[in-house]
Amino acid sequence: MGKADLHIHTNYSDGSATVLQVLRRAVEAGLDAIAITDHNEIAGAVKARELAGKWGLKVDVIVGEEITTSDGHVVGLFLKEKIRSLLTAEAAVNEIHRQGGLAVAVHPFSLWLKLFKCGGVGRLAERLQFDAIEVINGALTETLSNQYTKVYNNKVTKLSELGGSDAHTIEALGQAYTVYPGRGAVWLRKAITHKATRAALSGSQFRALLDFINDHLKGKLALYGPQGGALGQVEQV
């Protein structure tokens, strides 16, 4: 079975880890695929994919992006180009599909992130053409919303379920992940398409939260500011 973390941030947006640190950690954690999903940016993901190929690492890097839409955050996987922010969620999903990518409703019911104007799409997950839904977000603050999303998906949307750490620090990487048949990005995509994925949680979420707070206090990362995709603080580019 393959193991992939499909929601990772680097210092190309609001994470504290470099691309190099993310790649090293992914290998150490036994991940065979990762998606770097910086806010409104794909440069870090493209760089990571280039380095992984150059060094022959046994981890496939998927170019992703966490897009700030006017309706909440949407993640695109397997992208070719950056998608501009402040589109509607529907327009973002359509653009992801135009590029041949997969659209994911991440932390769709997060109350915590809504406080910082960077929440999910809520019940739009059942109306729009999403390919998958993040039923486990690795942040400790999402424990209750994860439980609700799991039930919601089982009863309503019935999409492929994904797990992603939503890592903003290197310590958090891999604390939530997606399990699927086969190994690598090609098999992962097939598994998402055929609804053959399973979300899982591991590691210490409390430790990861402490590391997040520590990095924030030391000025290594912002707390849900413009680089974190806060609605109303992001310039349309």
| DSSP 3-state of 191 | helix
Question: Given CA atoms 163, 40, 16, 62 in this order, what sign does their dihedral have?
Answer: positive
Task: List the pLDDT tens digit at each of the 237 positions of the chain.
Answer: 999 999 999 999 989 899 999 999 999 999 999 999 999 999 999 999 999 999 999 999 999 999 999 999 999 999 999 999 999 999 999 999 999 999 999 999 998 777 667 789 999 999 999 999 999 999 888 899 999 999 999 999 999 999 999 999 998 999 999 999 999 999 999 999 999 999 999 876 656 666 565 555 455 556 566 677 766 666 654
Contact 192, 102 (CB under 8 A): yes
- Looking at 3.30.2270.10, 3.40.470.10, 3.20.20.140, 1.10.1060.10, the CATH number of the domain 2-228 comes to 3.20.20.140
Strand order in the sheet with 198-201: 160-164, 132-137, 102-105, 72-77, 60-69, 33-36, 2-8, 176-180, 198-201
* Token digits of residue 63: 């170019």
Of 56, 78, 76, the residue nearest 68 (C-alpha) = 76
CB atoms within 10 A of CB 203: 17
Measure CA 217 to chain center: 23
- Residue 75 tokens read as 């993640």
